[in-house]
Amino acid sequence: MMIMDINNKIYVQELDNYKDYLKFQKNYSDYTILNYENDIVEYLGFIQRENLDFKTVEYSDLRFFLMYLKDEKKDDNTSINRKLSSLRGFYKYLANEGIVKSNVFSLVNGPKKSKKLPHYFEYNELEELFKVPDILTPIGQRDALLLEMLYATGVRVGELVHIKVKDIDLGRRSILILGKGNKERFVTYGEYCEEALKRYLQDGYIFLNHKNLDYLFLNQHGDALSERGVRYILDQLIQKTSIHKNISPHMIRHSFATHLLNEGCDLLTVQKLLGHESIKATQIYTHVTTDRLKEVYYHSFPRARKNDSKE
């Protein structure tokens, strides 16, 4: 990555202001803000290298930036589109603040996206994963709840680490979630998650919470668990299984949505459960479940196969 000249106070100040805007007004997670920052820093480094002014950059200049990403950096289409999205948001903010005349990135179309289906876990893989934590220890009880709650609710990792005990309605088995854009929604959890939650609150949580914090998920030092901490825990857990897949909180979220659709849940309900503003963001899961539909068809339709020994 190109490193921005830290002596350029204008760049630093505007970027810091934008990061504050994302954190306090848009309620973006630290992890998301870091990704935005990395994309913007790379762009500002290119701007400096080409002796351009970020306030007066023109559309023709951005074509050279795209060439830099594709030919010099060898970024794939997904990375390029993500970076353009970050910069589109940055320049929209600058335009609203009157720092630039217009959002020049609104004119830039990224390369065509390749359809990439979300990765998810099969039911049996999750069952194996759920058996890993040692529920006789405080850390194990926390990790067991972390897995159950991610899968039972489909929440984002940034939403998970901000859950407070007071947000949970034990009687209704529901949790008040503060999502993107400070939008609130309720998520429901089932009996497996309920069992893990009660065990943790009655034992492991008391042991870990020696700093008397309100947050549900705590690390071994008694501080609120971070998004990076959740990812580290998941990496450690999957290494103790026979599963040969990378793991992330979002992959468990994908599994939540995919399994709901496989069991007949309608798309609009899944959209609400995931906290998606648009149904378009949820529609990608319909492609995933096509495999499930084909499986049911071949096993159920009498004239789907001529011979049982052939697929």
Q: How far apart are CA 45 and CA 47, in angstroms?
A: 5
Q: How far apart are CA 104 and CA 56, in angstroms?
A: 9
Q: How far apart are CA 197 and CA 304, in angstroms?
A: 45
Sheet holding 168-169, edge to edge: 168-169, 174-178, 184-188
Instruction: Please give the single-letter amino acid code of residue 67.
Output: M
User: Which residues does the annotation mark as catalytic?
Assistant: 156, 180, 250, 253, 276, 285
Q: How far is CA 126 from CA 118, 120, 143, 165, 265, in A?
A: 16, 10, 14, 26, 20
Return the bridge partners of 164, or none: 215
Give the residue carrying structure tokens 């194990």: 140
All residues at 6 or more sequence positions from 59 whose CB lies less than 8 Å from its CB, including other chains? 104, 107, 108
